[in-house]
Every structure is written in structure tokens, then in C-alpha cells.
Copies of this chain bind each other. A is one copy, B any other.
Amino acid sequence: MSKVRVNCFALSLDGFGAGPHQSAEHPLGQGGTALHEWFYPTRTFWNMFGMEGGATGPDDDLAARGTENVGAWILGRNMFGPIRGPWPDEAWKGWWGDNPPYHTDVFVLTHHARNPVRMQGGTVFHFVTEGIRAALERAKAAAKGADVRIGGGVATIRQYLQAGLVDEMHLVVSPVLLGAGEALLAGIDLPALGFRQVDYTPTPKAAHYFLARKK
């Protein structure tokens, strides 16, 4: 059965999934890169970007679970890029260069229509203006029975959570304080949405929590 998953989503100790003042210079908000220090050294991260090497170990094992059986991705507009409002032209193709780390169809939520963009390595960015449910339907069709991964950012995951559409979450608490930014869980009652804690794996870099929704 195809699942809708969030994986490897890092939070600060104070609950922020991105720092404040996101910009082209700070795609993760100010201080936001520190959230992912557990992830950058991993072999999984390196491989996503076509590089050999990277560290193995528990963080890599957990990162690798995030890439297994993913048939399509959904991203919010702000995770795709810093441009707000109508697309000025077709030039922006994401933060990730010519060969993005998705290698599947990727459905980008936006209020502004745009033609699909075919990248190297199998990633195709589709721009969905009909809302989160339409994006999920298209992602499920594209995934052909595999899972759909909601990549982020915070606002996008919150929308899918509040609509009851997320089945599993792997959250990572990094030993970092941000003080401000985008709070993932503020005002969201996960047990009321059916989530329970199913696994906890601490590593020297971060604490990994797996949550699943009862069916």
C-alpha cells in the first residue's frame, strides 16, 4: 500500500524546521543549515548528489530509509526556490543544479502555473496550482504504487498533516537552538491526528524519532 511519508526532517531543539529570513543566500533560513549537520556527511547525502563516498553508520542508515521506495516527491514553492509571485521566466530550476537529488517526478505546490521542467537524472518538476490534494493525487499516480515523500518545507508538511494525509514521519532533533523560524508542530496535535511514537534512535549527531498514524 502506497504511503505518504516525511523523512529526515530536522528540527532544532526549540522546534524550528527552518530558520528565519529565508532568502536566496539562506535557503534554509538564518542558521538553518546547522539542522542538517547529521545528514551532510552521510553516504546517502553524497549519493543523492551523484558523489562517491560519504560516511556510513547509524545516521546514514536512517537517511537511507528515507530514500527507499520513494516513487514521487511533493515540495512547497519555497523549498523549490526563493522566487515569490509569478515566475518571471523559466530560468529558475531549483536549488540543486542540473541533476537534482530526487530522480522521480516532483510536484511543486504553487499559485502560478508553469510548464514542467525535465532535469538530468530522471527528476521532472511539475507545477501544481490546484492545491495539496490534487498534488497528492498526481504524485500517487506517478509513484505507481511506491510511496510519496513530502520533502517540505514546514508550511507544506503542516498543510498535509492538518489534512490528515501523512502516514509516517521521521523527525530528527538536532542539538541546535534557532530561537525563531518555522515551527513544525506548533498548534498541531499529533496524537489527535492518530500519530504515535514507534521508534527512537539516538545517534551522537541527533535524535531520530519515527511516528506513524494508526489506520
Residues of A within 8 A of B (CB): 13-15, 171, 173, 175-180, 183, 185-186, 188-192, 195-197, 200, 202-204, 207, 209, 211
Contacts and interface: CB of A to CB of B under 8 A. Distances in A.
Contact of A190 (B179, B192, B209): B179
Given A15-B15, A175-B197, A202 B211 contact: no
Contact of A176 (B188, B197, B204): B197
A189 B173 CA distance: 17
B202 A177 contact: no
Copy number of this protein in the oligomer? 2
Contact of A207 (B15, B188, B189, B202): B202
A171 B211 CA distance: 21
Contact of A196 (B177, B189, B203, B211): B177
B175 A191 contact: no
Nearest to A199: B175
A109 B41 CA distance: 48
A59 to B, nearest CB: 12
Contacts of A178: 191
A13 to B, nearest CB: 5
